[in-house]
Amino acid sequence: MSIVAVVDTGVNINHFDLRSNLWRNPGEIAGNNIDDDGNGVIDDVHGLDVITGSGISSVGDPEGHGTHVAGIVATTSKNAEIMGIRILNDNGGGSLSSAIEAFSYALVNGATVINNSYGALGVNPSQVDFLQEAIRIGEEDYNVVFVAAAGNEAANTDQIPNTPSNAEGMFSVGASTSVGNPASFSNFGATTVDLFAPGVDILSADTFSTNGRKRLSGTSMASPVVAGAAAILQDLSPGASVADIKAKLMDGSIPQKNLQGLAVTGGVLSNDFTGSFTQPLESTVSTKGNKRKKKSSKKNKSIGSVGSLSKKSFDKIICVLDKPTQSEKMDIWNDLMDQDFTKNVEWPEAFGDRICILNLRNRYQSGPESRSAIKMMRRSNHFESVERDRKILVNTGLNSFSTSLDRIDVSLSPFDLILPSQGDGLI
């Protein structure tokens, strides 16, 4: 039977929707206040609270996000065992160091799927080397499927990476509506988002009740649907490799016209897994003679067009620089401010200060004027890449980097939409 680790804000183990699905640590005796299995954690019967170093039951889920996510896994896969792992605090904040510790615990204790409904937009790939190594070990040595929410900034993650969903080996999930359209808030990426799954008005367990439920929207809600689907596939094909499970998820997706160019599959997770959250969908794309584009490595992301999105109005242009010096950035700023199309220029503290966001004047936001602005930016030779985007929300106050040989701290938060997401945290 598959074990799905829900790495999040915790889990309310007393909720009615979860009781029959909870993973039980075979080496631990509940309530005796003894570390029976010798792993350094007392009474970790149903999982680990990384923040307090205790079993998941002692604190539960004071924020609420993780219980809702766990409920979605249980609804999708009736037989999945849910291992609760808390890395995010009462306010939804956490660090990649905690995520790595969570992965280690999950792998050692038999998890077969690890769901990650949290993240931070614009983290420099060099800051996630340890996380990447943990994922590699999990896939190659433990045959574990890693699933992550793509994020809620309506941003192109081919251009600005989202962590951990952009990590090599992560199965990245965007959020779709009940009719198979992309949710207005969902991140997307032709090479960095694998597929979409229902993520709007999803009913699931409410942590502040033993039997209540509530509706939330976000890629946080879409990711556990896919994690539950992976668990079902593992139960149907014991011993299947990570590659096999991912291929079945991808090949079974339902192509949607409005998702073409927004994900590797251009489609929504198969109806076989989504019946509890949306009506059955049919393909709106003719696949005759078409071959699905192979997913490119997330380590070398291409930056190109965004399909039909290029026909719409854009008020921002994202530019990525190749490790500029401060004087080079000042020269670029002066050059941009001299252009007729420039309204203002922003330098968010993200992605190693390599991102420049150019805000366009109204008349340059669509049509020939928009295209001329893009062409001029690309010809300037200032930038490694230049691309339009629908909406760019890069929070400049929450991303923090502190690296050492044994610790990496990058602020994380969950990706749901109780309030408008600012991109760093719960998804």
8 is catalytic: yes
Alpha carbon distance 110, 314 (integer Å): 47
Distance CA(153)–CA(169), nearest Å, equals: 22
CA 278 – CA 275 distance, rounded (Å): 6
Closest CA to 193 of 158, 169, 226, 146: 158
Tell me, yes or no, if 65 is annotated catalytic: yes
Active-site hit among 43, 46, 57, 65: 65
Number of H helices, E strands in the chain: 9, 22
Whose CA is closest to 162, among 399, 420, 401? 399
Catalytic residue among 97, 117, 186, 220: 220
- Distance linking the first and last C-alpha atoms of the chain: 27
With residue 57 as reference, give the H or E element that holds it: helix 56-59
**Nearest-angstrom CA–CA distance, 112 and 228:** 11
Whole-angstrom distance, CA of residue 8 vs CA of residue 149? 12
CB 166 within 8 A of CB 157: yes
What are the residue numbers of the active site? Answer: 8, 65, 220
